[in-house]
Amino acid sequence: MSAGAALRESAVPQRTTLAPGQTPDADVVEPIVRVDQLTIRYGDFEAIKRVCLDIPPRRVTAIIGPSGCGKSSLLRAMNRMNDFVPGVRVEGAVIFNGQNVYAAECDPVELRRRVGMVFQRPNPFPKSIFRNVAWAAQMNGYRGDINELVEQSLRRAALWDEVKDKLSLSALALSGGQQQRLCIARAIALQPEVLLMDEPCSALDPIATARIEDLIDQLKSQYTVVLVTHNMQQAARVSDRTAFMYMGELVEVDQTNLIFTRPGNPRTQDYITGRFG
Ligand SMILES: Nc1ncnc2c1ncn2[C@@H]1O[C@H](COP(=O)(O)OP(=O)(O)O)[C@@H](O)[C@H]1O
Ligand SMILES: [Mg+2]
């Protein structure tokens, strides 16, 4: 065994029985989402090639890789947002809580409530701050105290203190960073289990970005987060696990600290050291 291999061997955490109170390594917990042999085609073009990926619950999983490698396609497959893309074909399975989301009996509307999404550009409705959070929940049949739900969702999205005195103001009057936190509050109000985020900070300044990163870190105590980012520092800062994609393939997935210090694949090494991308 080479010195490098010996180092790698000793650095990999042992997957043995957990001591009481010990945080389980993602490899030993049951995934909440399992992507199994997923292929996505746009016409004849294969954008995702037989990808397998397990998403552990209440962790942040980052998906990184150069532009066009299929990150968004993979993310959108998890709550069937790809259904809206004309000419898309999907093979393989995405198992969420034990059910294939592509099975005929899966209701995509209910799926998207349980697996919410936050997009690259904040996209609040042209309504009040309050209505933005309340509306989707009410449309989904929420019967509880709506004021309480709005407050709780805004608090969880770390926006409450900034907006509590102006809930009737148009959401469009907020800054970009506040709008993005409002979109996160809107997603949270549906009480999802998984939050998919597609480059949620790419339209934001560094201060707003830092706030969203702090928020992601807090959210993972309750939600499972899958974060697509082209920003490797962001992946290193906020995620527990990182998946590296290249040209439609999932090259490698591991604990974030291992991906960024001792990647197992030379293509990952080349990408994280800035040799391409
Ligand atoms: N609606 C579409 N129609 C045709 N090709 C698409 C469509 N969406 C994405 N693609 C192609 O699929 C590949 C992966 O795209 P995408 O998932 O957006 O990658 P990323 O998010 O990593 O930039 C790219 O080559 C892109 O051009
Ligand atoms: Mg993308």
Residue 29 — very low, low, confident or very high, per pLDDT cuts 50/70/90? Answer: confident
Full-prediction pTM beyond 0.85?
yes
Buried b (16+ CB within 10 A) or exposed e, 216-241: beebbeebbbbbbbbbbebbbbbbbb
Q: Is 67 exposed, middle or buried (0-12, 13-18, 19+ CB in 10 A)?
A: exposed
Query: Is it the case that residue 4 has pLDDT exceeding 70?
Result: no
| Number of the ligand 1 atom closest to the C-alpha atom of 86 | 1
Query: Is it the case that residue 206 has pLDDT exceeding 50?
Result: yes
Q: Both tokens of residue 80?
A: 């069937």
Domain residue ranges in the chain: 57-78+107-272
Length of the chain, in residues = 277
- Which range is least confidently modeled, 20-24, 168-172, 179-183? 20-24
Q: Both tokens of residue 131?
A: 């209505």
Q: Which ligand is nearest to the CA of 41?
A: 1
Q: Both tokens of residue 196?
A: 């998919």
Q: Which amino acid is at 153?
A: S
| CA 202 to mean position of chain CA atoms | 14
Q: Which residues pair with 224 in a beta bridge?
A: 194
Picking from 262, 246, 200, the residue whose alpha carbon sits closest to that of residue 60 is: 200
User: Which amino acid residue places its CA nearest to atom 4 of ligand 1?
Assistant: 42
Q: Which amino acid is at 207?
A: I
Using the 8-state DSSP alphabet, how is residue 242 labeled? Answer: E
| Number of the ligand 1 atom closest to the C-alpha atom of 248 | 14
Task: Give tens-digit pLDDT for 84-117.
Answer: 999 999 999 999 989 999 999 999 999 999 999 9
Query: Is it the case that residue 19 has pLDDT exceeding 90?
Result: no
- Answer for the pair 131, 192: CB distance below 8 angstroms, yes or no: no
- Answer for the pair 102, 94: CB distance below 8 angstroms, yes or no: yes
| Number of the ligand 1 atom closest to the C-alpha atom of 245 | 22
For the chain, how far is it from start to end, CA to CA, in angstroms? 32
- Answer for the pair 240, 255: CB distance below 8 angstroms, yes or no: yes
Q: Is 127 exposed, middle or buried (0-12, 13-18, 19+ CB in 10 A)?
A: middle
Which stretches of the chain are DSSP H helices? 3-11, 71-77, 108-114, 129-139, 146-156, 160-163, 176-188, 206-219, 232-238, 256-261, 266-272
Ligand 1 centroid distance, CA of 41 (Å)? 9
Query: Is it the case that residue 13 has pLDDT exceeding 50?
Result: no
Q: Ligand 1, residues 40, 45, 84: which to mutate, most atoms within 8 A of Cβ?
A: 45
Residues with CB under 6 A from ligand 1: 42, 45, 47, 65, 67-73, 85
User: Which amino acid residue places its CA nearest to atom 7 of ligand 1?
Assistant: 42
User: Which amino acid residue places its CA nearest to atom 20 of ligand 1?
Assistant: 68
User: Which amino acid residue places its CA nearest to atom 18 of ligand 1?
Assistant: 72
Task: Give tens-digit pLDDT for 41-74.
Answer: 999 999 999 999 999 999 999 999 999 999 999 9
User: Which amino acid residue places its CA nearest to atom 3 of ligand 1?
Assistant: 42
User: Which amino acid residue places its CA nearest to atom 26 of ligand 1?
Assistant: 68
How high is the pLDDT of residue 136?
85
Ligand 1 centroid distance, CA of 247 (Å)? 10
Kindly report the CATH class assigned to 57-78+107-272.
alpha beta
